Structure 1
Amino acid sequence: MLAKLLYKSSSASSDQKAPLSRLSGLGPPREAWCADYIDLTLHDHTTEYLVAIFSWYKPTLYQPHHLPTSKQPSQILQHPTKSRPLQILVLDVRMKYNQNQCFLLGDLKLAEFPILRGCRNEGFPLFSICLSHQLLALAVGSKKLWKENPSM
């Protein structure tokens, strides 16, 4: 470990200044300052399965918002074979609140499922919004397709 975390003990007075002799090296040995601090032990999170700790276990279904007619999208995306709006399934990627709201404003249903419940590969297309999602997808064996951005 290159560094240690320390915090001042309650017995050490915070308003008392160090004597000049201690700062100049003329006083007690240099290690004496350690007596005023308590060593913090760091927890090694690599020994735990963090997905199980930070995931939730209950599926959540978000319904589209009902917007005033002036703010409704001009064209609602419909399922190609059924006469209903598209539905999106999210596998516990802890999407940002704003991302959820953008989908719901587009009149799409959004279902979030915990990744710990498992799922079958049905051949549905997947997409990732941020790099961390893409890296996780590659780590589990997904193929990547890059869409070229013409503005770049």
Structure 2
Amino acid sequence: MVEVRWLTGAEQDVWRAYVVAGLRLRHRLHRELSEAHDVSLVDYELLVVLQMQDGRRMRMSDLAAQLGSTKSRLSHQVARMEAAGLLRRLPDPEDKRGVIAELAPAGEALLTSAAPTHVHGVRRHLIDLMSPEEQRVIGTVFSRVLEHLTALPN
């Protein structure tokens, strides 16, 4: 049996601050995007990932992995967004079983209008609350966490 290394009081404080602040930050960013542009944060993030790809398209399985989503949940989200005209699904020419999600012009237009709201929120509720040195530390820490989690088997 593996011995549990319980968190110290200080470590517990760090963990709880991260969890609660992260949830509240995402909730605030979601609310600002929803109220101003009628788009959820998770839909906005999906559109951003597609916009960053060559050809503005990506295999659904890769998109799910990039977003930390399940294939089933992503499929429902993409179907809803496709019905709204924000993206389209295409067969993958390299894999008959695969599907590609592609950013549609309406999705591109939504990103263009919503990006300033999102960036303002990120800056106001996170970036501007930190010194440049704190930003570097946070970037280093979460890059390390991302690298660690990416290397783990699914």
TM range (shorter): under 0.3
Mark the structure with the bigger radius of gyration: 1
TM-score by length of 2: 0.22
TM-score scaled by structure 1?
Answer: 0.22
More strand by proportion, 1 or 2?
1
Higher helix fraction (1 or 2): 2
